[in-house]
A and B are shown apart, each in its own frame.
Chain A
Amino acid sequence: MQGMEISSRNLEAMSEPLRPKQENPRDFLDTDGLLAEDEVMLRDTVRRYVGDKILPYVGEWFDSGEFPHKEVSKAVGDLGLLGMHLDGYGCAGSSAMMYGLACMELEAGDSGLRSFVSVQGSLAMFPIWAYGSEEHKQEWLPAMAAGDAIGCFGLTEPDSGSDPSSMRTNAKQDPGGDWVLNGAKMWITNGSIADVAVVWARTDDGIRGFVVPTDTPGFSAPKIERKVSLRASVTSELIMEDVRLPSEAVLPGVASMRGPLSCLNEARFGIAFGATGAARACYEAALDYANSREQFGGPISRFQLTQQRLVDMMIQVQRGTLVAYHLGRLKDAGTLGPAQVSFGKKDNVAMSLRVAREARGLLGANGITTEYPVIRHMNNLESVYTYEGTNEIHTLMMGQALTGHAAFS
């Protein structure tokens, strides 16, 4: 067959010096070459899913402020992406790199989609998997991995954001052993659609996590409206008024801020990849637009200024990709430290916001509509900049790692 003929030609060509191949505008440094075959295959599968099932519709979801969580959660469950980096209990047991690659493709679709998967896997399933009892794991993890049950993670409160240890939500154990939970959580992704909430609360022996079925009396989760960011994602308040839970509801494995912080560390890792995916989508939209939009008698991509904008975007996206891949390899080697995760979260999110804004400008008036993906990504990334540790909090974490001084308070 022809290809075989090519192969015999390739053999002849071996004696000639290797010619560098043409640079690919969508992967200039050939970062794909850093990935193993199965990593590429997973990445391409998620990319195809996002292209088929998300991109054609997500602009409308964003417009109407809706997220079809039932379909999406089943589909990403079938793909094996929920809690994919966890082992056992129906979870896929993937490498950290693969989890990162999945986040990258999901967020190239929409940050809301990636948030859904991050919260489910890293913030809700992870604490149950790492700190839960055998019963917690059996009850929730297989259903959550399949996408049949949805979880949320309640840490932030109206008056307690960057400083979560100031939380007021509290749990008291009554003489019979039951826990009684009171307080309010704010900005909770998936809150109103969740079947189970992992809620962090103050107790007599430190900060503890509680596995709260959302149909428990006294628990409610009204949706937060009027967002102009992450509109294709459900964000909610959690209100807990004398929520009575059995003694087994507490996560036995941890009794300090280390519990919630370790979950955040997992999710932030995925964000370093995800934000880069959003930036890539914006850059590619800008590149396509620049090549097709004509002004002054030809495509705007022929202007030097346009080329500078495109080249700047491309360089930033490629750098972000390299950083993400490097963090992935460190995490799989077991040596990734939390301040290194901060590097990826802070810098890749800030990078993606810059790229999104530049791309927004490049698309001119079309750039302000949700007909194109760019302003949707740009607005979404404002949330990503704030949640999972703000830009400033990650700066302080790295600052502490550099100097030994904690400058948080």
Chain B
Amino acid sequence: MKVVVCVKQIPDPADPGALDPETRTLKRDVKLILDESDSYGVEMALQLVDAAGEGEVILVSMAPNGERSGLATALAMGAASAILISDPELVGSDALTTAKLLATAVKDQGADLIIAGSESSDGYTGVVPEQIAGVLDLPSVTAAKSIEVDGSSIKVQRQTDGGYDDVTCPLPAVVSVTAGVVEPRYPSFKGIMAAKNKPVEEKSAADLGFDASQVGWAGAGQEIIEVTDAPKRQAGEVIEDDGEAFTKIVAYLENMKVI
């Protein structure tokens, strides 16, 4: 069982970078860490390989400046190796370009399953996993809360507003995993030490067969035109309790159609 997990390395949400006023994209001049949204996918992949009794988890990440801190965390959790796509030419790449590069890097790995997060914690467009599936022409299942391997297919419980759907899907496939559905393990001391010797293969755009016009700002089909602050929260409606406040609250909730 070979599982590839797409992991994004992002600025620490506790210490986020600012927006660049010129490009209107996020500055990444701080240390990057493993996106928590992707730690669930790593955990699920490790559990699947454990359950299968054989195989390995391979990471793939696209990140600036040859950043490896987030990969180191996932390797310390137990992944076997990583592919890092990093290249100054990739500055300005949009989600589709990102997906193409990730898909190309994954293509020759012979993966039975490709796992990604449902959405990242910094960009959260929530489109990269499906785009990867599109590029590789693989079936795609979104919002998984559990994955079970059954021979050459998987059974996925797919989170919905009302509960979950049971979905069966042939392998290989791309599955995006909902945040919070498993408890990611802490890297152990032994894992941390072992991670130092695990291979991380770094690839440039050219290594993956892309030229400068296809990636970065030049290749981006999307442009961020404007960034505005979220509207300030309005002051709430205050209901004074004159003994009858409950009728007003009930009326308010009925009006919102929540009861």
Contact = CB atoms under 8 A, between A and B. Distances in A.
Nearest to B33: A44
A2 B188 contact: no
A328 to B, nearest CB: 15
Contact of B186 (A5, A9, A79): A79
Contacts of B191: 80
Contact of B188 (A7, A37, A78): A78
B135 interface: no
A45 B64 contact: no
Interface of B: 20, 23, 25-29, 32, 62-65, 67, 69, 72-73, 76, 86-88, 90-93, 98, 185-193, 196
A5 B216 CA distance: 10
Interface string A13-40: 0000000000000000000000001100
B192 A3 contact: no
Contact of B187 (A6, A7, A41, A94): A41
The 9 closest A-B pairs by CB, nearest first: A3-B64, A3-B28, A80-B189, A4-B91, A4-B64, A6-B29, A5-B91, A80-B188, A92-B189
Q: Which residue, B26, B29, B72, has most C-beta atoms of chain A within 10 A?
A: B29
Nearest to B97: A1
A313 interface: no
Interface residues of A, number: 25
A8 interface: yes
A98 interface: yes
A41 B73 CA distance: 8
B188 A79 contact: yes
Contacts of B88: 4, 7-8
Contacts of B65: 3-4, 6-7
A41 B65 CA distance: 19
Q: Which residue, A1, A4, A41, A94, has most C-beta atoms of chain B within 10 A?
A: A1
B96 to A, nearest CB: 14
A42 interface: yes
B29 A45 contact: no
Nearest to B189: A80
A329 interface: no
Interface string A81-119: 100100000001010001000000000000000000000
Contacts of B64: 1-7
Given A3-B28, A6-B28, A37-B72, A79 B91 contact: no
A49 B192 CA distance: 15
A213 B178 CA distance: 47
Nearest to A53: B186
Q: Which residue, B62, B76, B92, B187, has most C-beta atoms of chain A within 10 A?
A: B187
A5 B189 CA distance: 35
A48 B73 CA distance: 13
A315 B185 CA distance: 35
Given A6-B28, A10-B29, A42 B90 contact: no
Contacts of A8: 88, 91
Contacts of A42: 189, 192
A103 to B, nearest CB: 13
Nearest to B72: A41
A238 to B, nearest CB: 31
B90 A4 contact: yes
Contacts of A5: 20, 23, 64, 91-92
Contacts of A38: 192-193, 196
A38 B164 CA distance: 40
Contacts of A78: 185-186, 188
B25 A2 contact: yes
Contact of B192 (A1, A7, A41): A41
Contacts of B23: 2, 5
